[in-house]
Structure 1
Amino acid sequence: MLDLVIDARPAALSPGFEVKRILPYRLRRMLGPFIFMDHAGPVQLTPELLPTLDVLPHPHIGLSTVSYLFGGQVTHRDSLGVEQIIRPGEVNWMTAGSGIAHSERFEDPAMLAGGQLEMLQTWVALPEADEETAPAFDNYAPHELPIFTEPGVWLRLIAGDAFGLKNSVKTHSPLFYLHVVLQPGARFGLPRGYPERGAYVAKGQLEVNGRLYGPGQLLVFTPGLDPVLVAREATTLMLLGGEPLGERFIWWNFVSSRKERIEQAKADWLAGRILLPPNDNLEFVPLPQDKTRPAGSGFPAPQALS
């Protein structure tokens, strides 16, 4: 029924700003094409500490970053010249491809009231044929993301294809990503037709096959089985998975099917060949000098959420 249960680990992005890191994990590097998952918040900080949350300009290759908020707002700026405020219920989908740099700034002090700031960020690895595609950015408004409801169940399709729902979010391989809210006692299943499927418990308590699971746990399910998920209290889930892409190497913010491409990305960032956002170019995250983490074995550095 369950192949693995991954407990989120704390990762400090800056003083006072700690996230729950779910993927990658030493026993499970990817789930379908998803290679990275962080859950930030709810953040409890005083307004004067707001700048400490900022994620300075930093680079990516070979992946798409997917930002989704439960609360608060974040300002995205990238080397394509895009400036976009993302709010709850929207999707920021940035495809790095051959290389992009972006920042995430937290510029609204009001969002700290009552711990409103809460977000998830995932990375979706690109198929080999698309790893060097041109960088791109898209923001999708809530009305573009279909919602399904039935008694005790509410869900939004963030990306992909699931339960007969589709949307216009541009993906590069078969996958699903859903925001699901279950009321106490509600019963739910997983999308069918995908070999790799998981459920991340963001809030609440979930029962599967007689065992209980809680916040910060990612349940990875056995292929071919269709478990019943039962909410034992009001529960928020992120369902994700899809078709596997094969081995990927990850070092800092770089993902590739080739180790030598990771090395090239390091050199490009050091040499300034990956441009900074034109409207946020006065500071940036330097390349980590951690020689204990060769290409293909290093987790993203703590300076950056993405």
Structure 2
Amino acid sequence: MTYLSNADIEQVILPSTRDLGGFSVRRALPAAMRQMVGPFIFLDSFGPVRFGVGEGIDTRPHPHIGLSTLTYLLEGELMHRDSESYVQLISPGEVNLMVAGSGIVHSERTPEHIRKDGGKLTGLQSWIALPKQSEETAPLFQHLGANELPTVNGEGINMKLLAGTLHGRRSPAATFSDLFSAEIQLEAGSRYRINGEHIERAIFVVSGAIEIIGQDGTYGPDRLIVFKPGAEIVVKASEAARFLAFGGEPLPEKRFIRWNFVATDQERIRHAADLWRERQFPGVPGDDEFIPLPDNFN
């Protein structure tokens, strides 16, 4: 559901809920009235989910093209494996960035040490569409520890820059266009300014409640707030709050998104689907399962 607000706020989006086989996610992008914010074409939030002994998440191997995935956990752990032979545990505060480019296959599963005793999981995953000239770049994977990410602390603010540039800081995450993604935590009453250095900007509220100075309303968890270009945005925490701020320069070409594929050309997506249907993508070492192409894909 999407509704319009006033002045410097362009849209406020309430995510849809998707069931991924016993595991629900809240999908803020793409939405009915908004496909992208800057190069970001997809945003899922998940959790908090609690697992009993022997339980966990099993996202079996599946393919991607034409995008980068950025995974960030708030609690719990996931094990990443991909067709480039990367195996990486991701923990809270770290970044897993996977550039699919011409094509990659990966899985995400609850690690055995969590599955043994039970545990929990909360996090965010966004997809970043690659510029047309980079759509067929070679796939790569990058893991960044929490201590490798630029931070700002003080005056009730804790900001961690996950990718791109913001306020003169740059994340070491590999990017291909102008963008930013930052996790921001504010103590109650604290303020954070998001200036107009990036054309398109949005905030996804994870917890707590925020206000936008000069605007009506308070926004709680699971609200995606999209701002008008050029607006000077000051966020105030009505109570202790945590949110993801992201955006960047919009890509000039239209993007098509079907299942796990993103491209400027629908024929490229059909070709990728045919390759996956025929099991022509590379496999994931150590993980022989796979997610079939959806029945309605044609």
TM-score scaled by structure 1?
Answer: 0.91
**1:127 paired to 2:134:** no
State the distance in 2 between where 1:113 and 1:198 align: 38
1:12 aligned to 11, 19, 25, which one?
Answer: 19
Q: Which letter does structure 1 place at the counterpart of 2:237?
A: A
Find the counterpart in structure 2 of residue 171 from structure 1: 175
State the distance in 1 between where 2:37 and 2:235 align: 19
Deviations along 1:78-129, one digit per CA (max 9) or x if unpaired, are 0011100011111111000010100001024648989641111000000000
| Structure 2 counterparts to residues 222-237 of structure 1, below 5 A | 222-237=228-243
Structure 2 CA distance for partners of 1:206 and 1:111, relative to 1, 3 Å? farther
The root-mean-square deviation of aligned C-alpha atoms, in Å, is: 1.6
2:258 aligned to 245, 251, 254, which one?
Answer: 251
TM-score scaled by structure 2?
Answer: 0.93
The count of aligned residue pairs is 288
**1:276 paired to 2:283:** yes
State the distance in 1 between where 2:235 and 2:118 align: 30
Deviations along 1:255-294, one digit per CA (max 9) or x if unpaired, are 000010010000110112211101212x100000115xx6
2:80 aligned to 69, 76, 92, which one?
Answer: 76
State the distance in 2 between where 1:255 and 1:160 align: 20
Gaps of 5+ in 1: 295-306
What SS does the aligned partner of 2:231 have? coil
Q: Taking every aligned residue pair, what percent have the same amino acid on both sides?
A: 43
State the distance in 1 between where 2:86 and 2:235 align: 40
Structure 1 residue 192: Cα displacement = 2.6
State the distance in 1 between where 2:134 and 2:200 align: 21
State the distance in 2 between where 1:122 and 1:277 align: 22
Find the counterpart in structure 1 of residue 156 from structure 2: 152
Find the counterpart in structure 1 of residue 35 from structure 2: 29
State the distance in 2 between where 1:167 and 1:66 align: 13
Q: Which letter does structure 1 place at the counterpart of 2:86?
A: V
State the distance in 1 between where 2:285 and 2:238 align: 49
More strand by share: 2
State the distance in 2 between where 1:223 and 1:111 align: 45
Find the counterpart in structure 2 of residue 303 from structure 1: none
Find the counterpart in structure 1 of residue 142 from structure 2: 138
2:27/2:44 contact within 8 Å kept: yes
State the distance in 1 between where 2:59 and 2:238 align: 36
Structure 1 residue 187: Cα displacement = 1.1
1:38 aligned to 44, 48, 52, which one?
Answer: 44
Q: Which letter does structure 1 place at the counterpart of 2:280?
A: R
State the distance in 1 between where 2:228 and 2:185 align: 23
State the distance in 2 between where 1:29 and 1:110 align: 35
State the distance in 2 between where 1:257 and 1:147 align: 34
1:159/1:166 contact within 8 Å kept: yes
Gaps of 5+ in 2: 1-7
1:160/1:176 contact within 8 Å kept: yes
Find the counterpart in structure 2 of residue 285 from structure 1: 291
